[in-house]
């Protein structure tokens, strides 16, 4: 059972890190280059596809890490799985407190009727920064999970 959980956490954390990497490498540059109306259209399209999927993937991975923090075969592996859980919970915290509020606000905008003060309220720089933070944390979590796996049977 432990081996299955180890495989599942690597798969879930790996998929989440891959989605975040794709966002940093492709999505962010695209969204930053668009005019305001195009940005709102594209952001609304993307947010409705990733938001239901990513929280489930991250939560499942964090929960599995918590289980492995108690059941992994070595003390070092248990410690590393605990650290990975904390890191993935940090990703979720950044998402819930920083990027989700931006996403929710952007999907309320109407591209045909943008705010007059768009230059002052444009959320792209903040979203870019917080997306980079959570992406980096998610990749860190994946490296910690990989380290845990390598120490699990030593």
User: Using CA atoms, how far apart are residues 57 and 149, in angstroms rounded to an integer?
Assistant: 19
Q: Which pLDDT value is given to residue 68?
A: 98
Residue ranges per domain, the chain?
2-152
CB 2 within 8 A of CB 72: yes
Please list, in sequence order, all residues whose beta carbon lies within 8 angstroms of the beta carbon of residue 94, skipping any fewer than 6 positions away: 130, 133, 134, 137
Cα-to-chain-centroid distance, residue 126:
15
CA distances from 117 to 61, 107, 146 (A): 40, 17, 46
Six token digits for residue 13 = 């954390």
CA distances from 143 to 36, 58, 82, 122, 129 (A): 36, 15, 13, 34, 21
Q: What is the mean pLDDT of each run of 10 residues along the chain (154 residues)?
A: 95 97 94 96 87 91 98 97 98 96 93 94 97 98 97 84
User: Using CA atoms, how far apart are residues 126 and 149, in angstroms rounded to an integer?
Assistant: 35
Six token digits for residue 115 = 């705010």
Q: Which pLDDT value is given to residue 70?
A: 97
Q: Which pLDDT value is given to residue 88?
A: 98
User: Using CA atoms, how far apart are residues 58 and 64, in angstroms rounded to an integer?
Assistant: 10
Q: pTM value?
A: 0.93
């Amino acid at each position: 059972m432990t081996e299955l959980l180890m495989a599942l956490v690597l798969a879930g954390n790996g998929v989440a890190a891959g989605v975040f990497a794709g966002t940093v490498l492709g999505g962010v540059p695209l969204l930053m280059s668009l005019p305001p109306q195009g940005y709102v259209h594209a952001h609304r399209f993307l947010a409705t596809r990733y938001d239901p999927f990513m929280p489930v993937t991250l939560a499942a991975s964090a929960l599995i890490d918590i289980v492995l923090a108690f059941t992994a075969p070595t003390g070092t592996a248990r410690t590393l799985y605990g650290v990975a859980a904390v890191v993935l919970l940090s990703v979720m915290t950044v998402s819930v407190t920083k990027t989700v509020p931006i996403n929710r606000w952007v999907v309320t905008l109407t591209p045909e009727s943008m705010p007059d003060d768009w230059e002052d309220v444009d959320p792209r720089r903040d979203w870019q920064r917080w997306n980079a933070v959570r992406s980096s944390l998610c990749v860190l979590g994946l490296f910690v999970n990989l380290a845990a796996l390598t120490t699990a049977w030593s």
